[in-house]
Amino acid sequence: MKVIQNIGIAIFLIGLGVFTTLPFIGDFKLDQSSFDELIDSQGIKSEIFVSDLKSKLVNKNFSGFQPLAPLVEESIDKANTEHTKNKEWGKKVYAGSDDLATTIRKKSGYGYVPQNKGLMWFLTFGLGIIGALMFILPQVVTLGKKGIKNDHIYHQSSTNKGWIAWLVFIFLVSFYLVLYFKSEYAVNWTYLVDPISESLSGNPAGHWFVYGFMYCVVMTVMAVRMYIKYRHNMYQMVRTTSVLFFQIVFAFLIPEIMVRLQLSYSKGYDFKNAFPLDYDFFFNWNLKELIAGGGLGLFILVWGIVLTVVIVPVMVYFFGKRWYCSWVCGCGGLAETLGDPYRQHSSKSLFSWKVERWLIHGVLLFALVMTGFTLYGFFAETGTVLGIKVQSIMNTYSFLIGAIFAGVIGTGFYPIFGNRVWCRFGCPLAAYLGFVQRFKSRFRITTNGGQCISCGNCSTYCEQGIDVRAYAQKGENIVRSSCVGCGVCSAVCPRGVLKLENGPEEGRINPTEVLLGNDVDLMELVNKR
């Protein structure tokens, strides 16, 4: 078994190695016709830009590592300076240099990778999947009898912030930085999944398709790990299946198929992604597209609003925010699969809780204020509200919250700060659901009388950094806005103290002076005071 696992690691590392090498290799050469097509498709009218870029790019060879974006940037600057001087506003180039560079690369790649997409897919994704499964599947045997299997989590480098964890951290952060900010280097990856993308939506893959596909693959493989690790625990099995289903079907397949069907509104839409997590739902351009998108567009508009205003809070009332955060949500889905080995790293200190409340509610406020601005701007048909450019607020949010917080920190920091950094400190939807869960819900984690022995397994493995033990050892139920109901505290409890349940609101929050089992006469106790 050990041998199979070690071979698995080797195969996985080869796959990962090839994948990591891809951004640095490959050849790119743009011919005249592709160049014209590109300029056309971008609607660029600046002849200065066109001629400048043409002299730099057309029929010239570029290797993978040579950055294109600075060259494009240079041309843009040059053209725009000139146009500004001449007050030729219509000719200015508004396209971003990174996006342009990415598009150029995608059009102009040639050589081994684009010509052997299938083989290259196998050498990266294929080997990664096979290797990972060879490591994971033998755990059916190596973990021994079913039950809680947390042995050596704090002895292993990978799960105890050792050098492996730091390497994973560096890899994840770099991956997200490329994805969000240097997408031209992701072009080689897009070739690998072109065939899949074409079979789904009919279009070649962009870097976000790579991400979406990879997300599904990683979740599926790590879900297999969950199924093995928690095979004694039906709640975990069902929940894992649920997040996997919603990710693959709702976040990945349906949006792609919508594009294929070329419905009146032909952009893909993730029907489960609720505002304000889906922060650009009320952005000017999205509203315009939805309204212009005929019946389907209007349906999505209404659905999006009903989802946030009615469905989400009503479901939280009945089941707690877990129905969304750990049963449906994509961010939660990744956290509960890829992130499961890191759940113990969330800080349980009171200080962290304070930071959490300021941050997450701050982000919610930011999202709401921004949406207020965009909506006002939309209806008043102005780009400036209260003297502030709406676009600049949107850009700031997209950059700080959408990219840096949710992506780079949210997932990149898994091995160091735990798997729910975004969900705990940043997600505005989680903040909103949290209010409902805390103040108007049937959900609670029931503490079983006086059985708690304060061992701390529950707190240690709470991914949301809730000090579960602090409540359990006092005999109090756990009713916290941040709880996503993953059910792991209940699973790891050696004494059967915790149970996630939806019951009557009355008695849900139950502060106790003396725990069950100690028969002091409570009335007497109160009267004597």
Partner 1 sequence: MEHIVIIGNGIAGVTAARHIRKNSDKRITIVSAETDYFFSRTALMYVYMGHMKFEHTQPYENWFWKKNRIELKNGYVNTVDHQNKKLVLADGNTIGYDKLILATGSKPNKFGWPGQDLLGVQGLYSKQDLDQLEANAPDNKVCKRAVIVGGGLIGIEMAEMLRSRKIPVTFLVRETSFWNGVLPAGESAMINEHILEHHIDLKLATNLVEILADETGRAKAVTTDKGETIECSVVGLTAGVSPNIDFLKDSGIELGRGIKVNRHLETNITDIYAIGDCAEQYEGIGQRRPIEAVWYTGRMMGETVAQTICGNKIEYKPGHWFNSAKFLDLEYQTYGWVFSERGMKENEQHFHWRDDKEKICVTVAFDKKTKQFLGINTFGIRMRHEIFDRWLTEKRDVNHVMEYLKDANFDPEFYSQYENKIVSKFNSEFGTSISLKKKSWKRIFSNA
Residue 523 lies near partner 1 (rule: CB under 8 A):
no
Are the C-beta atoms of residues 345 and 416 closer than 8 Å to each other? yes
190, 247, 374, 457: which one binds partner 1 (CB under 8 A): 457
Site for partner 1 in 152-181 (CB under 8 A): 152-156
287, 487, 509, 511: which one binds partner 1 (CB under 8 A): 487
Cα→Cα distances 27→59, 64, 153, 509, Å: 12, 6, 44, 63
Strands (E), 262-409: 384-385, 388-389
Q: Which is nearer to partner 1, 188 or 459 (CB)?
A: 459
Burial 168-193 (b: 16+ CB within 10 A, else e): bbeebbbbbbbbbebbbbbbbbbbbb
101 vs 111: CA distance, rounded Å: 18
- Name the nearest CA neighbour of 226 among 304, 337, 126, 119: 337
DSSP one-letter code for 479:
-
Q: Which is nearer to partner 1, 21 or 518 (CB)?
A: 518
3-class DSSP assignment, residue 151: coil
Site for partner 1 in 460-479 (CB under 8 A): 460, 469-470, 473
Q: What contacts 321, CB < 8 A, 6 or more positions away?
A: 430, 433, 434, 436, 437, 441, 443, 483, 484, 485
Residue recorded with tokens 């493989």: 221
Q: Which is nearer to partner 1, 287 or 491 (CB)?
A: 491
350, 380, 388, 509: which one binds partner 1 (CB under 8 A): 350
**Minimum CB distance to partner 1, residue 323 (Å):** 12
Cα→Cα distances 394→35, 181, 295, 427, Å: 31, 17, 27, 16
The 237-276 site mask, x for binding partner 1 (CB under 8 A), equals xx--------------------------------------
Q: Where does residue 385 rank: exposed (0-12), middle (13-18), buried (19+ CB within 10 A)?
A: middle
Q: Which is nearer to partner 1, 246 or 471 (CB)?
A: 471
Residue 138 lies near partner 1 (rule: CB under 8 A):
no
185 vs 179: CA distance, rounded Å: 8
**Minimum CB distance to partner 1, residue 351 (Å):** 9
Q: Which is nearer to partner 1, 47 or 513 (CB)?
A: 513
459, 464, 477, 482: which one binds partner 1 (CB under 8 A): 459
**Minimum CB distance to partner 1, residue 491 (Å):** 7
Are the C-beta atoms of residues 1 and 140 closer than 8 Å to each other? no
Are the C-beta atoms of residues 342 and 252 closer than 8 Å to each other? no
316, 427, 436, 500: which one binds partner 1 (CB under 8 A): 500
Residue 294 lies near partner 1 (rule: CB under 8 A):
no
Count of positions on this chain that bind partner 1 (CB under 8 A)? 61
**Cα 34–Cα 183–Cα 38 angle in degrees, nearest 5:** 15
3-class DSSP assignment, residue 259: helix
3, 94, 511, 524: which one binds partner 1 (CB under 8 A): 524
Q: Which stretch binds partner 1 (CB under 8 A): 2-10, 32-40, 328-336, 441-449?
A: 441-449
Residue 66 lies near partner 1 (rule: CB under 8 A):
no
Residues in the chain: 529
**Minimum CB distance to partner 1, residue 227 (Å):** 14
**Cα 285–Cα 289–Cα 295 angle in degrees, nearest 5:** 155
41, 86, 392, 454: which one binds partner 1 (CB under 8 A): 454
Residue 222 lies near partner 1 (rule: CB under 8 A):
no
Q: Which is nearer to partner 1, 286 or 447 (CB)?
A: 447
Q: Give the binding site for partner 1 (CB under 8 A).
A: 144-148, 150-156, 232-235, 237-238, 349-350, 446, 448-451, 453-457, 459-460, 469-470, 473, 487, 490-492, 494-496, 499-501, 503-504, 506-507, 514-521, 524-525, 528-529
